[in-house]
């Protein structure tokens, strides 16, 4: 199912993701959303390791706000939905939802900052900005 402005990334909850009760440990949702962000960027043509090698810049998490609504459990098939909500000269913010079917389990807002190799803020490279301009709500290319 294609949704304009959203990228979808499937995830399954494995033993290693859960606590003794079979519930996904809260911090693992951050891992799920990190993977989804990486694939979202890759889908837009931004390879983070190549970006660092070629331009000396990288993305780091500057701020994250997470709300947990319901637990994910062992063997659940989940989907992480990601969309760009703000694009600034040296940062971007995404809304990310973790869902089991239509049920919303986790809602997060993640701000990524662009930094150089010394950890100082850096403007987004022009080619990255151009790729992210495509990701604005309603214009993200459909997934195949």
Which of these is catalytic: 17, 19, 53, 75? 19
The residues, ordered by sequence, that sit 6+ positions from 45 with a Cβ below 8 Å of its Cβ are 131
Cα-Cα-Cα-Cα dihedral sign, residues 125, 122, 50, 80: negative
19 in catalytic set: yes
Residue 138 has phi, psi (to 5 degrees) of: 90, -10
**Contact 138/128 with Cβ under 8 angstroms?**
no
Which of the residues are catalytic? 19
């Amino acid at each position: 199912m294609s949704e304009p402005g959203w990228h979808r990334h499937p995830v399954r909850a494995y033993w290693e993701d859960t606590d003794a009760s079979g519930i996904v440990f809260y911090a693992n949702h951050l891992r799920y959303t990190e993977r989804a962000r990486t694939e979202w960027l890759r889908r837009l043509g931004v390879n983070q390791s190549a970006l660092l090698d070629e331009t000396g810049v990288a993305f780091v998490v500057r701020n994250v706000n997470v709300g947990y609504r319901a637990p994910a459990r062992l063997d659940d098939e989940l989907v992480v939905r990601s969309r760009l909500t703000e694009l600034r000269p040296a940062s971007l913010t995404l809304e990310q939802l973790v869902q089991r079917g239509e049920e919303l389990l986790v809602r997060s807002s993640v701000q990524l900052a662009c930094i150089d190799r010394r950890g100082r803020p850096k403007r987004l490279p022009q080619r990255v900005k151009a790729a992210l301009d495509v990701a604005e709500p309603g214009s993200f290319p459909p997934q195949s």
